[in-house]
Amino acid sequence: MSDLISALEEIVGPGQLFTGEAIDDRYRADIMGRIHDRPLCVARPRSTAEVAALLRIAGEHGVPVTTQGGRTGAVDGSFAAEGGIVLSLERMNAIEEIDPVSMTITVGAGLPLQAVQEAAEEAGLFLPLDIGARGSATVGGVISTNAGGLRTIRWGLTRDMVLGLEAVLADAGYDWKHLMIGSEGTLGVVTRATLRLRPKPRSVMTALIAARDFDKVVTLLRDFEADLGGQLTSFEVMWRDFFVLVTEANRAKRAPPMTAEHDFYVLVEAMGGDAGSDMERFEATLGRAFDRGDAIDAVIAQSEQERANIWAVREDMAGPMMRLVPLFAFDVSVALRDMPRVAEEISRSVCDAHPGATMLVYGHAGDGNLHFVIGIGDGSREAEHKIDLIVYRAVERAGGSISAEHGIGLAKRDFLGFTRSAGEIALMRTLKRALDPGNILNPGKVIDMAGGALA
Amino acid sequence: MSDLISALEEIVGPGQLFTGEAIDDRYRADIMGRIHDRPLCVARPRSTAEVAALLRIAGEHGVPVTTQGGRTGAVDGSFAAEGGIVLSLERMNAIEEIDPVSMTITVGAGLPLQAVQEAAEEAGLFLPLDIGARGSATVGGVISTNAGGLRTIRWGLTRDMVLGLEAVLADAGYDWKHLMIGSEGTLGVVTRATLRLRPKPRSVMTALIAARDFDKVVTLLRDFEADLGGQLTSFEVMWRDFFVLVTEANRAKRAPPMTAEHDFYVLVEAMGGDAGSDMERFEATLGRAFDRGDAIDAVIAQSEQERANIWAVREDMAGPMMRLVPLFAFDVSVALRDMPRVAEEISRSVCDAHPGATMLVYGHAGDGNLHFVIGIGDGSREAEHKIDLIVYRAVERAGGSISAEHGIGLAKRDFLGFTRSAGEIALMRTLKRALDPGNILNPGKVIDMAGGALA
């Protein structure tokens, strides 16, 4: 084994390979603060050539390799098992080129998303991709999980922004873009990406709107989409319990932008090309929604401060959530029309089994994406598995997906059969075997090459 | 062989399998009117189960299968070699579901694109995908080639509209959406698709604009994109020779919307949510372009008739092109900033070799997509190969792609190495081998499993 270690060290150079106690805890810590297994080593290559050399050596020794970006994934996809190699791309964080004519940016996979956003901004351009973990999540990470986030209605998921990739495969050459995106490091290591940028929006309109029932929420979405003719960027729906928890818990920090008496709250944001007339149009659309009774209360942000206050209702949830720990978080997708029924069904099943359970529901409605947070006062793996089954069975019955934007990783792997057919899973195995015959790339994540999935 | 034929006939039922002289010429005719090899048979299944059964039998006999939609592809991808089976999906043309809440439509792969557009329209919705061959190209065909077309700036390529696929694979189960899209029937047979619809636009603004040079064209694109805040749908650029040829040839049918003295013409179209204020904004943007000298002449369509006249400059080109026969047509992509240089380079090389050659240039500039039509008075395969080399070498030097939206098929297969690295081609072979181990799915198309590609 020390042969392997010295061969790896030779590749990355002195000070870039860590073993045993010298491995910093951050390479093992997930967003919930749990510390995962200690890997054999952590290697920090700084070039594609080094990554290729590392993979070759790992393959010769049959030692598994897990690629790490910002470790902000939610499904335990970026942690290595004992004896595995962690390939941290944090040093591959160069901004290699910004092309203002073609509006593209080419960066190393280890660059944090926020750094790309800022570089685009500085060039007078705009990267629409935005997620809460923007400061730590890397470009390689958002590609690996095909992250979605807050502006998918208008600009799509990561997949829709990636124009080119350089990936190092265990076996073949490099790149097959769409197969790599979303494969969570199990088919190759993405080392560099070219992302599509957009003209910087000249106007931002943000509103918090209350609605009586989910049908009204759907009507609001469709009307804003049609009226604003392509300017709608975010449509975040929050069920009442979520709104109450977040606004109450943060009341000392900021006054809630609206009373908590309504059943549904929607955060609507649009971006356009003309600050004056865009706001007029946004207000007119909202006015018509009031006239028809689709909106029963609303606040439009009149300043950047008010905008931040409205967004805080949706985003400043880490503190409030901590009050519910232990809790289980879910990221699923179902058809828009099925959302209230599925949420209701899960809530009833959870409360039948655990009277007094808490369940908060919110999500990117425009994208069919729902998040649940469920607390039953028991954080054991057993309890989690039972709640997993309740949630994923309801999603399966509705023909939805057990993962909307967080990937499969390890946490959801055994539930893959709830959302993919046996034929699809067989196909995934075929592809994994073809591209990674030695099963050294993030083994055990996404798909279990050894055994079956629950069904 | 008659065993095979009777087994196939048993699957599709009487009257749905044709052999020998009974095979209608249309199953062998491409868009240029050329008649390709006569296949062993043409089978017309009407269900996914029948497709699966046909593939199983074909696999057992080791007989290749080529899936056919509307046969409007431009790279000979949908024709079978002698002895092969043509799987025509023309009977799998059902509209299975329209979900107005989720805004999706699920259809059989054999349904023509225009029928989907019309079904969406009837439901008050909108399928943005639009290409010249809309009346004949099928959903399966546009998915198979990942067609782009006229509104990619705002809504992307086919890939961006496909939410789900049902595909029958030769080996595994079904579906892996992004691997299937663009694979031209070489990895599986797409039998059904769910497409994303959009709210029907309430306004359409169309203009023809003349510009002095390509830099001005780029400025126009960026200004319209930023000013219209997401409403821009089409930005079609035409070099002068193209404009002259089409408008002169069609002069008897309709008066040209503008004089032919300018070097570049751009067709700009936007769609929005408010007929009144959208047009005001469109006119204001164009006004500013005049003030800055980016636009030197312009016509805005004031009626559906005027809009049709402007689009005819770009689309009514089949007749005018016929005057240049024999001709060779190209569909490539290069970075926006490289477009004029690449066009100039190719033109010079072609004219050096063939004084008096004609070259017309046009394309979807917003998407990096350029079309060339080149006539040298010699339509032989030899001449074509020489021109192919000139074009693809120039594209390769610019780091572009030899196929923007027409696929690789057979016509471009041997040039794949101009645009994909050896590693990528090896990876494509690995995937093809994994998913179609018997090499029965459209063999010889996209990638030659036997030999190498030119480099």
Summarised one tens digit per residue, pLDDT across range B443-454 is 887 788 875 444
- Give the minimum alpha-carbon distance from A195 to chain B in angstroms, rounded to a whole number: 13
Instruction: Tell me what the mean pLDDT of segment B72-94 comes to.
Output: 86
DSSP strand pairing (A65-68 vs A85-88): parallel
What pLDDT score does A176 carry? Answer: 64
Hey, of B178, B223, B278, which one would you mutate to test binding to chain A, going by the most A CBs within 10 A of its CB? Answer: B178
Is A427 in Cβ contact with B174 (below 8 Å)? yes
Q: Note if the bond before A256 is cis, omega within 30 degrees.
A: no
Q: For residue B49, give every residue at least 6 positions away whose Cβ sits within 8 Å of its Cβ, in sequence order, or none.
A: none
Position A174 confidence tier, pLDDT thresholds 50, 70, 90: very low
- Give the minimum alpha-carbon distance from A324 to chain B in angstroms, rounded to a whole number: 33
Out of A7-11, A30-34, A349-353, which region has the weakest mean confidence (pLDDT)?
A30-34
- Give the minimum alpha-carbon distance from A199 to chain B in angstroms, rounded to a whole number: 5
Q: Which residue has the higher pLDDT, B81 or A265?
A: A265
- Give the minimum alpha-carbon distance from A40 to chain B in angstroms, rounded to a whole number: 30
Instruction: Tell me what the mean pLDDT of segment A218-229 comes to.
Output: 89
Q: What percent of chain A has pLDDT over 70?
A: 93
Residue of A nearest to B277 (CA): A277
The pLDDT tens digits for B264-306 are 999 999 998 888 889 999 999 999 999 999 999 999 999 999 9
Hey, of B187, B274, B419, which one would you mutate to test binding to chain A, going by the most A CBs within 10 A of its CB? Answer: B274
Is B422 in Cβ contact with A176 (below 8 Å)? no
Is B101 in Cβ contact with A176 (below 8 Å)? no
Residue of A nearest to B182 (CA): A178
Mean pLDDT, chain A, whole residue set: 86
- Count of pairs with CB atoms under 8 A, one residue in A, one in B: 161
Q: What percent of chain A has pLDDT over 90?
A: 44
Q: Of B154, B226, B422, which is closest to A202 when you measure between CB atoms?
A: B226
Is A426 in Cβ contact with B172 (below 8 Å)? yes
Contact assessment for residue A174 and residue B423, using Cβ atoms and an 8 Å cutoff: yes
Is A202 in Cβ contact with B222 (below 8 Å)? no
How far CA A269 is from CA of A116, A235, A236, B421, in Å, comes to 22, 7, 9, 42
Q: What is the largest CA-CA distance in chain A?
A: 74
- Give the minimum alpha-carbon distance from A111 to chain B in angstroms, rounded to a whole number: 24
Q: Is the pLDDT of residue B309 over 70?
A: yes
Contact assessment for residue A105 and residue A195, using Cβ atoms and an 8 Å cutoff: yes
**Residue located via tokens 């996404």:** A446
The pLDDT tens digits for B400-417 are 888 877 777 788 888 888
Instruction: Tell me what the mean pLDDT of segment A234-247 comes to.
Output: 94
Is B178 in Cβ contact with A159 (below 8 Å)? yes
Q: Which element (helix H / strand E) includes B168?
A: strand B162-168
In eight-state DSSP terms, residue B413 is: G
Q: Is the pLDDT of residue A422 over 60?
A: yes
- Give the minimum alpha-carbon distance from B281 to chain A in angstroms, rounded to a whole number: 9
Measured between beta carbons, the chain A residues lying within 8 angstroms of B430 are 171-172, 434-435
Q: What is the largest CA-CA distance in chain B?
A: 74
Cα first-last separation, chain B: 39
Q: Between the CA atoms of B251, B253, B259 and B263, what dihedral angle is there, to the nearest 10 degrees?
A: -80
Identify how many contiguous H helices and E strands chain B contains and give both numbers.
Answer: 14, 17
What pLDDT score does A168 carry? Answer: 57
Residue A291, classed as helix, strand or coil, is: helix
Q: Is the pLDDT of residue A375 over 60?
A: yes
What pLDDT score does A293 carry? Answer: 96
Continuous H helices in A293-364: 304-315, 318-322, 339-353
Q: What is the spatial distance between Cα A221 and Cα B176, in angstroms, rounded to a whole number?
A: 30
Which regions of A259-382 does DSSP assign to beta strands (E)?
264-272, 297-300, 328-333, 358-364, 369-375
Q: Which element (helix H / strand E) includes B232?
A: strand B232-239
Continuous H helices in B265-380: 275-292, 304-315, 318-322, 339-353
Output the six-digit token pair for A385: 């598995």
Is B428 in Cβ contact with A433 (below 8 Å)? no
Measured between beta carbons, the chain A residues lying within 8 angstroms of B178 are 159, 178-179, 181
Q: Is the pLDDT of residue A244 over 80?
A: yes
What pLDDT score does B1 carry? Answer: 60
How far CA B15 is from CA of A368, B11, B45, B68, in Å, comes to 44, 11, 11, 18
Q: Is the pLDDT of residue A451 over 80?
A: no
Measured between beta carbons, the chain B residues lying within 8 angstroms of A339 are none
The pLDDT tens digits for B328-383 are 889 898 888 899 999 999 999 999 999 989 999 998 887 788 999 999 999 898 99
Is B226 in Cβ contact with A273 (below 8 Å)? yes
Mean pLDDT, chain B, whole residue set: 86
Output the six-digit token pair for B87: 């799987």
**pTM of the entire structure?**
0.80
